[in-house]
Amino acid sequence: MTSKKVIELFYDVVSPYSWLGFEVMCRYRTVWNIELKLRPTFLGGIMQGSGNKPPGLVPNKFLYMGKDLNRLSEYFNVPLRSPSDPFEAMFQKGSLNAMRFVTAVQEKGKGGDEQVERVSRELWRRIWYEDKDITEPASLSEAGIKAGLSDSEIKELLELSNSKEIKNKLKISTQNALDYGAFGFPLVVCHLNGKPEMFFGSDRFELMAHCIGEKWLGPLPDKPAAKL
């Protein structure tokens, strides 16, 4: 068997399209010959660093986004539901605290990205399905508990997430994404023959499969295992 292709997934839990990309890449981790590396990153820093404008700030895009997410939720089998106040959730509250917490989880994780995957998914569920906060320590604690972390682990992670070390690590991840050419999320970087190939969005999987020599089997390559 040829060596696994390294694929980096840069994401932020404030982005619903990132959730779609995240779930699909996690499903294909055991279908394609790949090594998936999760890269928690701060979308706010990407937008500022690239000079991009969030789709939610363009009225027609914002209206389309709501309808689009309903269709995508069914297609990808991901339980997406817009928050009651999307503008507040995405732009006023944001995700800096949440992504620092996820970064701390990754820093302390002992089993690869397993804990990062579970915590990220719970945070997405909170904001994009349960219409709950993801910024306050109590909110992060609830997500951590649902992801299987202990009270002592969560306390340590909350303290670590406010450290200079974790703040810098999140900044570095954000800058790495910008260096690849990021302007939004999800961002998937496939490393092929020593060269990075960048794919933006949750609708490039068929093209990505073609480029890495794999087969796209749809959003549910293994239906029993793919259900959330």
User: Which residue is catalytic, options 15, 82, 95, 120?
Assistant: 15
DSSP the chain: -PPPEEEEEEE-TT-HHHHHHHHHHHHHTTTSSEEEEEEE--HHHHHHHHT---GGGSHHHHHHHHHHHHHHHHHHT------SSHHIIIIII-SHHHHHHHHHHHHH-SSTTHHHHHHHHHHHHHHHTS---SSSHHHHHHHHHHTT--HHHHHHHHHHHTSHHHHHHHHHHHHHHHHHT-SSS-EEEEEETTEEEEEESSS-HHHHHHHHT-----S-TTHHHH--
- Residue 173 annotated among the catalytic residues of the structure: no
Q: Which residues pair with 195 in a beta bridge?
A: 192
Residues recognised as catalytic: 15
